[in-house]
């Protein structure tokens, strides 16, 4: 049998990327190309009185200028569940600084940039609402596109508080954060008659196809979306954005292809962000450490025209066994664009609060933090009452503690030193739901020996090309070429919510089995085959050979079988979706993160010295790409804990420092050695391969673990991220 699944193979697209040959969206060569540059509002609140484009139109090379009042109204954009609305383009109100107001199209990028800078906009400005204190606050009935209720309760919170011997009641805050993928968003729009082709930086080619067709009021089949390579997404490329719509409108108007590439600063206003949160958290427990109450109230910011909530209580409802719980959400309307998904939306922010509070409770009870978590381990999903499809969180705690050396920890704050550095150890739990959607895959086996596996999924840098190749190759016993990133391919879901592997790999597996079995059937009914008359169950495949298990001398090949049947190729298409049986189980991935920090007692500088992360995420298809995902997630968690914060000028409603010089993210020098381990699970209920979510899991809990370690080192509890020296001194 071909043992390929699980091996730490190099990325199949790695060479193309490191040599610069991989054609990212902005690199695609297009004939007769023009360049579009977006111009934006320079105020955060008010009304447009007039847009003067005469000076811009006079710039040599300018072809056309499209302003907001020349475009069709933007409708609610279909994505997933009830769609996300955006401001109507014909609306002359300004809702936030950086709002897209039009596009300049020119022969060269430089000409378009010059012209865009000469567009004059006259406003009637109104003071902007930026802070929660001055904002309208309300409690939504439902959140996250209507998927989750705005309030979740079980038991009686007041009764739970009364039963508690110890209460922890604190407020935890996280700032606005931005995604900062390496590749900024880009699009190339090309019209051929009534048909539109978009080369697009998107995490969802099919959802983008559906959305742009809806906005432009054209049939979906008239739109083709192509996204072969993506330089990161993390949520900011999940939804259709107005720069893509403007590019499509501009291209149709000038009757030439139009390329738009957002600048780094435009990424801060045009593609969403993670909202600032304020979380009131109450934990109550008996002296023995059993939780009696959890009360989690999250307040986040949203735009004036949409209700996007950062679901900080998503993990709170299911993480620990507790009879009395309330999770409630509040929204504050401000003059900013609408927030969006950002790696671990809700879990990353909410688990900072929950896992920090659990550490505070452990100290209040004089119980080891791991012991407290084990005392409240949820053996079933306390939110739904369903059994877990699989859960190895206890094993993650045990393995992580052993590797880290947790038993050697002196729990007393300020008790561990290394010269003038205060040393702290902290840990936290991690969790993320395992989701999946319907996915289709086509496999073509050619008489030449070539095999193509096709699915309309995306690879946003996570290794989809590689792991899908491994799945198909193991079943077929042949080298294969995996094709993705084209809406003309069989449909697959958006690459988000950590569900690509759990959605697409079962479909690849099913299609590969179907193709292999058809070839075997062709052989056993072929009198010219050495396998003629054999039973299919007695036949296996390896290295392009199809042979009897008991007598390998009786063999055949894919190519010979196809040629004898007069076929140039064999084509199989299969689809997988969530089974009814799977819906009877709660499906989550889990993990435990352990960190050591060193705090300079004179300067307050914090350095993460080492990390140990242990995760249970079902079957691991490729250890190398999986580890890469974990390293990336932990790195992001370190940035979240110690560096990342988007600052808004509260007077102007404008983001300050919308660049990578002022918005700090970790670099190699900031990142310690990481020990990454997996607790492999056999999960028979998630899908045929037993694959679960991983991509977003490793960011969860990292900020809390670092915060807990900082407290252990210094005796100072910082509940406001990021943890910076000024907050310690």
Per-residue pLDDT reduced to its tens digit, 300-319: 999 998 899 999 999 999 99
688 shares a domain with 632: yes
392 shares a domain with 310: yes
Binning pLDDT at 50, 70 and 90, where does residue 79 land?
very low
Calculate the dihedral angle through the C-alpha atoms of 96, 102, 106, 108, rounding to the nearest 10 degrees: 20
490 shares a domain with 341: no
pLDDT at 146: 80
Please report whether residue 89 resides in a domain: yes
User: Is 696 considered catalytic here?
Assistant: yes
Please report whether residue 422 resides in a domain: yes
Please report whether residue 350 resides in a domain: yes
Phi, psi of 283 (to 5 degrees): -120, 135
CA distance 102 to 288: 63
- Provide the number of structural domains found in the chain: 3
**List of residues 6+ apart from 163 with CB closer than 8 A:** 284, 286, 292, 293, 324
Q: What is the mean pLDDT of the chain?
A: 96
Please report whether residue 5 resides in a domain: no
Domain of 573 in residue numbering reads as 439-577
143 shares a domain with 119: no
Closest CA to 428 of 178, 634, 601: 634
Is residue 703 within a helix (H) or strand (E), and if so which, with residue range?
helix 702-714
CA distance 123 to 655: 19
571 shares a domain with 517: yes
Residue 86 scores a pLDDT above 90: no
Of 577, 612, 627, which residue is a domain's last?
Answer: 577
| DSSP line for 58-88 | TSTTEEEEEEGGGSPPP-PBPSSSSPBP---
616 shares a domain with 510: no
52 shares a domain with 34: yes
pLDDT at 72: 65
Task: Identify whether the C-beta of residue 181 lies closer than 8 Å to the C-beta of residue 236.
Answer: yes
Residue 253 scores a pLDDT above 80: yes
Please report whether residue 153 resides in a domain: yes
CA distance 98 to 117: 14
Please report whether residue 226 resides in a domain: yes
171 shares a domain with 147: yes
| DSSP line for 120-155 | EEEEEE-PPP-SGGGSEEE--SEETTTTEESEEEES
Measure Cα distances from 97 to 134, 529, 593, 664 in Å.
Answer: 18, 71, 38, 22
CATH number at residue 504: 3.30.365.10
Please report whether residue 348 resides in a domain: yes
The strand pairing partners of 610, in sequence order, are 596, 673
Per residue in 453-502, pLDDT tens?
A: 999 999 999 999 999 999 999 999 999 999 999 999 999 999 999 999 99
| Model confidence pTM above 0.95 | yes
692 shares a domain with 650: yes
Please report whether residue 6 resides in a domain: no
CA distance 697 to 590: 7
What percent of the chain is modeled with pLDDT above 70? 97
569 shares a domain with 515: yes
331 shares a domain with 206: no
Per residue in 14-25, pLDDT tens?
A: 999 999 999 999
For residue 538 the two structure tokens come to 């007695």
208 shares a domain with 146: no
For residue 302 the two structure tokens come to 């949203």
Of 577, 609, 642, which residue is a domain's last?
Answer: 577
Task: Identify whether the C-beta of residue 482 lies closer than 8 Å to the C-beta of residue 446.
Answer: no
pLDDT at 144: 81
Binning pLDDT at 50, 70 and 90, where does residue 76 land?
very low
């Amino acid at each position: 049998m071909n043992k390929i699944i699980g091996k730490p193979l190099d990325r199949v697209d790695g060479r193309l990327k490191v040599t610069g040959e991989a054609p990212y969206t902005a690199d695609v060569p297009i004939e007769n190309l023009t360049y579009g540059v977006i111009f934006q509002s320079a105020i955060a609140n008010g009304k447009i009185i007039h847009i003067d484009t005469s000076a811009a139109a006079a710039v040599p090379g300018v072809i056309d200028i499209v302003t907001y009042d020349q475009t069709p109204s933007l409708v609610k954009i279909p994505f997933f569940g009830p769609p996300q609305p955006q401001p109507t383009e014909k609306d002359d109100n300004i809702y936030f600084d950086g709002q897209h107001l039009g596009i300049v199209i020119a022969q060269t990028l430089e000409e378009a940039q010059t012209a865009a800078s000469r567009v004059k906009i006259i406003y009637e400005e109104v003071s902007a609402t930026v802070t929660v204190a001055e904002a309208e606050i309300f409690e939504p009935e439902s959140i996250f596109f209507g998927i989750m209720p705005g309030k979740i309760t079980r038991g009686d919170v007041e009764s739970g508080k009364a039963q508690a011997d110890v209460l922890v009641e604190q407020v935890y805050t996280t700032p606005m954060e931005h995604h900062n993928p390496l590749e900024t968003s880009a699009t190339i729009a090309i019209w051929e008659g009534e048909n539109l082709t978009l080369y697009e930086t998107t995490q969802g080619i099919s959802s983008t196809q559906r959305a742009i067709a809806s906005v432009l009021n054209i049939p979906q089949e008239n739109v083709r979306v192509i996204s072969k390579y993506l330089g990161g997404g993390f949520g900011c490329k999940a939804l259709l954005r107005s720069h893509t719509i403007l590019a499509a409108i501009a291209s149709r108007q000038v009757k030439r292809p139009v390329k738009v590439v957002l600048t780094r600063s435009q990424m801060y206003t045009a593609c969403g962000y993670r909202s600032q949160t304020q979380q009131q958290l109450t934990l109550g427990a008996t002296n023995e450490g059993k939780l009696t109450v959890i009360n989690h109230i999250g307040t986040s910011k949203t735009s004036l025209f949409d209700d996007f909530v950062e679901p900080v209580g998503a993990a709170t409802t299911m993480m620990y066994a507790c009879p009395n719980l309330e999770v409630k959400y509040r929204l504050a309307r401000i003059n900013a664009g609408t927030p969006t998904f950002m790696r671990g939306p809700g879990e990353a922010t909410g688990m900072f609060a929950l896992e920090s509070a659990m550490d505070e409770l452990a100290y209040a009870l004089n119980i080891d933090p791991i012991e407290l978590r084990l005392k409240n381990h949820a053996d079933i999903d306390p939110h739904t009452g369903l059994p877990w499809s699989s859960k190895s969180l206890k094993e993650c705690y045990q393995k992580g503690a052993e590797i880290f050396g947790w038993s050697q920890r002196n729990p007393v704050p300020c008790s561990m030193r290394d010269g003038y550095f205060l040393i702290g150890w902290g840990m936290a739990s991690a969790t993320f739901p395992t989701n999946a959607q319907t996915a289709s895959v086509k496999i073509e086996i050619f008489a030449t020996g070539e095999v193509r596996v096709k699915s309309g999924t995306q690879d946003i840098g996570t290794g989809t090309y590689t792991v899908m190749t491994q799945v198909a190759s193991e079943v077929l016993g042949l080298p294969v070429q995996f094709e993705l990133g084209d809406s003309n391919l069989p449909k697959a879901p958006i690459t988000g919510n950590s569900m690509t592997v759990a959605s697409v790999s079962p479909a690849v597996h099913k299609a590969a089995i179907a193709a292999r079995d058809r070839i075997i059937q062709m052989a056993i009914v072929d009198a010219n085959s050495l396998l003629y008359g054999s039973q299919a169950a007695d036949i296996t495949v390896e290295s392009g050979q199809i042979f009897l298990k008991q007598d390998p001398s009786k063999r055949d090949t894919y190519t010979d079988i196809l040629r004898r049947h007069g076929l140039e190729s064999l084509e199989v298409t299969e689809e997988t979706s969530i089974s009814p049986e799977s819906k009877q189980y709660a499906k989550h991935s889990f993990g435990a993160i352990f960190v050591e920090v060193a705090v300079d007692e004179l300067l307050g500088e914090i350095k993460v010295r080492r990390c140990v992360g242990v995760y249970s995420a079902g079957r691991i298809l490729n250890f190398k790409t999986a580890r890469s995902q974990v390293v990336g997630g932990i790195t992001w968690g370190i940035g979240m804990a110690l560096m990342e914060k988007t600052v808004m000028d509260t007077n102007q409603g404008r983001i300050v420092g919308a660049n990578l010089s002022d918005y700090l993210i970790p670099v190699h020098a900031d990142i310690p050695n990481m020990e990454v381990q997996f607790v492999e699970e056999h999960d028979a209920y998630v899908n045929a391969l037993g694959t679960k979510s991983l991509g977003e899991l490793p960011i969860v809990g990292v900020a809390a673990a670092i915060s807990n370690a900082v407290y252990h080192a210094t005796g100072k509890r910082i509940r406001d991220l990021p943890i910076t020296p000024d907050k310690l001194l």
